[in-house]
Structure 1
């Protein structure tokens, strides 16, 4: 297999200096004929090259499995379907081979065409940053709108539950329609899908600025904007994996910063315009113009490295096949999928309860409108730094380990910091601490799915995790406002406790997921009897004669850890391992 990539070769287990010395020994004999020594050098070179290729492929395969994404799953499924259709291969034949071959094999040349890890890919990263800036980043500033709607009588007969429903619609539709948008991406292509979402957002914000009745606000700022968010951000996340492999974590981190930057920018801008005009009309029009212009720039510069073939809309059967691939409910039989879904949904629920309530809470505690919007902006600003660092820390210390730590910190911050905080300075420190951790669900959802499931199960599992929680997310802010009391000292106390309870339940789910992850790793190690030499220092390493004894000891340890029983279950859950 030939690799075309800009990645540098990885070090080989063969000593390259010995090869060089052999070459110099041959060439030092000036004019000598080629003999057995030359053949031996060629043989060494051949072994060196073959082993380097094997190690290079293994390293690249680990990198791909570690950051497996939706584009990889779609590309693998497309290659699999083409191979079955054109060559008539059996499913077992196609399933064999490394993941990197299944994803990046070019059918026309037979080569494994790897991403360049740079070049124009950084322009694409900037485009994804702008998309996140104008979609979820823009929506992060909705808390400022909500605070204004709650304290003013903008629409006759409307109550706090009506405005809370609008907040729920944007989140529920934006997250829940992701599987449908993935199908549309395969049917009509990247840019048409994103242009449709941009047009819908333009119309939604513009029409909302002229809304005079509550149902009009529901339809525009609720439904149209919520649907547009999904049609904009889902295709953008599909593009990036085609450009990066070993540097994918850095590229993803840069793109995720767009959400926090957008929340800071639009949160402060919206508050300023509402304060100056004492209404939301020009704030909505500002969002309409700025988000549309930013999206058009991003779409114009967006480029797929190897575009997937689109099915078109002329025939229904290819569309039905795409729906079956994305919405394959058989994946739910794997217990890991419901666990990831529950953790993801409750983490998002706690996040939205906090981010949408923060501004209104500050004003309920006697602070000004400007201070409330500033707190929202600080929270989003902390996410700019926190989200990329989460991904890098997950690679270094283990994804489930980092997720457990961050979710535990979120629970502590909500119960131990937010509830007693009642001054502006205290809330500033709370927003910095909370914002640096609160995006853990958005960052870790995809990578945990890739870690705990097979590549073939990734796409339907990702779709189920996004769609299953949509009804619950629709009621997010409704529950928040229903829990508000008339207590003058802290009317949002029950809301704060409920948000903390959501993160507490999410923490319980991630502990269960860690047990699953440890079980999978120990099972693989037990089958291969592979010793983790990183656990031993140079002083503790054993010589070759004692290896059989160590293997028996390690094998016995696997048998004990993988056994049945409640004690062994919790022992796996807290077993010291990078997972």
Structure 2
């Protein structure tokens, strides 16, 4: 028996929709994914509002035809912006601008300090990396409670205040608090915002959009060192922090008007939930029963382990083969520059051939660039050649992570999956230290040989684990996964 909604002229099957404790029907939309579940018992005349493509499907006698969506005045949030549309790209642009200067790297932030102070500041950088990874989990909870816009403002506030306070720091322990903790909280929240918002706006071009967003940090990695070096030389270290704070504040405020959520949830429903319920949504341990998910989050720290080693030791290797500091910095700049088109290209390829397929191919190529080029790079040309090829493929993890994770656990569990990924990736900060220890055991071979082998092996392990997930999902080698 069907019930007619006069306001929307839509039809819902009363028996198929959920009821509350008082047996009152709860009106909700039926997605196109749910259609196969409902079609056998649905009445001959039912309107289905799709959350996926925003079309309204009129099912009459088993035939489906698209109609214009009708507005339900009682539930105004049921009609939302189209996926992959113009508004989605505007939101992506805002997220890109807001995050372009948030990828702070202690290696160039603390550059120019004395040798003794650099040793002390290394621990500040390590704390920043650890807090940055763990605060992605905190940002997930804040996103659930505050929503996208308020979470964005909070991340900008933490980064701005943290950098301003760092400009007045006169001891290392103060930098632990201002840069190592406050800036890390802001950066972690900013990182999380993009990963939570973008998947809800895109489906067909989700990997491409994620690749564009991820390219913001390589762009910042090219621009910021130039600003830091110039300001540090002309005005001093304190003003360098203040200029960074101003840049982050201005870009965050500029992005605020265009950044918004694409949500079907009525306003206030999240705020009404209990804290325990929000935490349960953000960290659902039932996901650990999913073998594919456990394998995938294991890939995270392995990948970051290998990536940190590469980024950390390219300048050291340049010094070892008698290149100048400027030439070593040029190689790192080339790596960041090629990562910009590489990240976008990886996303576009993933949208065409499948996220897992693209990830497996790119990680294999990344490992091969280490084994076949970096190991034998003993001059500037060969090292630059390595940086170009490596930069084109090594960022594929960030371009495909959202699509792969959603494919494994579903959109409803995506927030919780991000939390587990963030927590386990804290282990990756030990990568450079472990690599340095392994290299210290090398007494007979060329310096940094063990480091290169560990980095290349890390990428290959990522490809192997992803291949296991692929065959667990579908054993057909050529299927799009």
Question: TM-score range, shorter-chain basis?
Answer: 0.7 to 0.9
Of 115, 139, 162, which residue of structure 1 is paired with 2:82? 115
- Say if 1:268 and 1:373, in contact at 8 Å, map to a contact too: no
Does residue 226 (structure 1) correspond to residue 208 (structure 2)? The answer is no
After TM superposition, give the deviation of residue 339 of structure 1 in Å.
Answer: 0.4
Q: Which moved more, 1:183-192 or 1:277-286?
A: 277-286
After TM superposition, give the deviation of residue 434 of structure 1 in Å.
Answer: 0.9
User: 1:369 & 1:206 partners in 2: Cα distance?
Assistant: 29
Aligned with 1:174: secondary structure?
Answer: helix
- Which residue of structure 2 aligns with residue 304 of structure 1? 261
Does residue 473 (structure 1) correspond to residue 428 (structure 2)? The answer is yes
- Which residue of structure 2 aligns with residue 346 of structure 1? 302
Looking at secondary structure, tell me which structure has more strand per residue.
2
Q: For residues 187-222 of structure 1, what are the alpha-carbon distances to aligned partners after superposition, in whole Å with 9 as ceiling and x for unaligned?
A: 123222222211211222233334332222322222
In the alignment of these two chains, the number of paired residues is 432
- Say if 1:385 and 1:436, in contact at 8 Å, map to a contact too: yes
Q: Which moved more, 1:283-292 or 1:304-313?
A: 304-313
- Which residue of structure 2 aligns with residue 131 of structure 1? 98
After TM superposition, give the deviation of residue 487 of structure 1 in Å.
Answer: 8.2
Relative distance call for 1:145 and 1:374 in structure 2 (3 A) is: farther
Of 197, 208, 212, which residue of structure 2 is paired with 1:254? 212
User: 2:399 & 2:328 partners in 1: Cα distance?
Assistant: 26
- Say if 1:131 and 1:258, in contact at 8 Å, map to a contact too: no
After TM superposition, give the deviation of residue 228 of structure 1 in Å.
Answer: 0.9
Of 459, 463, 466, which residue of structure 2 is paired with 1:510? 466
User: 1:363 & 1:83 partners in 2: Cα distance?
Assistant: 69
Does residue 97 (structure 1) correspond to residue 34 (structure 2)? The answer is yes
After TM superposition, give the deviation of residue 280 of structure 1 in Å.
Answer: 4.4
After TM superposition, give the deviation of residue 235 of structure 1 in Å.
Answer: 2.3
Q: For residues 134-173 of structure 1, what are the alpha-carbon distances to aligned partners after superposition, in whole Å with 9 as ceiling and x for unaligned?
A: 223xx3x443346656xx3252xx63xx544433333333
- Which residue of structure 1 aligns with residue 367 of structure 2? 411
After TM superposition, give the deviation of residue 473 of structure 1 in Å.
Answer: 2.4
Of 208, 211, 225, which residue of structure 2 is paired with 1:267? 225
User: 2:205 & 2:393 partners in 1: Cα distance?
Assistant: 23
Relative distance call for 1:347 and 1:265 in structure 2 (3 A) is: same
- Which residue of structure 2 aligns with residue 429 of structure 1? 385
Q: RMSD over aligned Cα, in angstroms?
A: 3.6
- Say if 1:177 and 1:230, in contact at 8 Å, map to a contact too: yes
Looking at secondary structure, tell me which structure has more helix per residue.
1
After TM superposition, give the deviation of residue 439 of structure 1 in Å.
Answer: 0.8
Of 246, 249, 264, which residue of structure 2 is paired with 1:289? 246
Relative distance call for 1:576 and 1:116 in structure 2 (3 A) is: closer
After TM superposition, give the deviation of residue 369 of structure 1 in Å.
Answer: 3.0
- Which residue of structure 2 aligns with residue 191 of structure 1? 149
Q: For residues 535-560 of structure 1, what are the alpha-carbon distances to aligned partners after superposition, in whole Å with 9 as ceiling and x for unaligned?
A: xxxxxxxxxxxxxxxxxxxxxxxxxx
Of 300, 308, 322, which residue of structure 2 is paired with 1:366? 322
Unaligned runs of 5+ in 2: 1-16, 37-48, 55-71
Relative distance call for 1:432 and 1:83 in structure 2 (3 A) is: farther
- Say if 1:104 and 1:114, in contact at 8 Å, map to a contact too: no
Relative distance call for 1:426 and 1:301 in structure 2 (3 A) is: same
After TM superposition, give the deviation of residue 417 of structure 1 in Å.
Answer: 1.7
Q: For residues 487-529 of structure 1, what are the alpha-carbon distances to aligned partners after superposition, in whole Å with 9 as ceiling and x for unaligned?
A: 899653333332223223222211211211214xxxxxxxxxx
After TM superposition, give the deviation of residue 176 of structure 1 in Å.
Answer: 2.7
Which protein is bigger by CA-based radius of gyration?
1
Does residue 577 (structure 1) correspond to residue 479 (structure 2)? The answer is yes
Relative distance call for 1:243 and 1:457 in structure 2 (3 A) is: closer
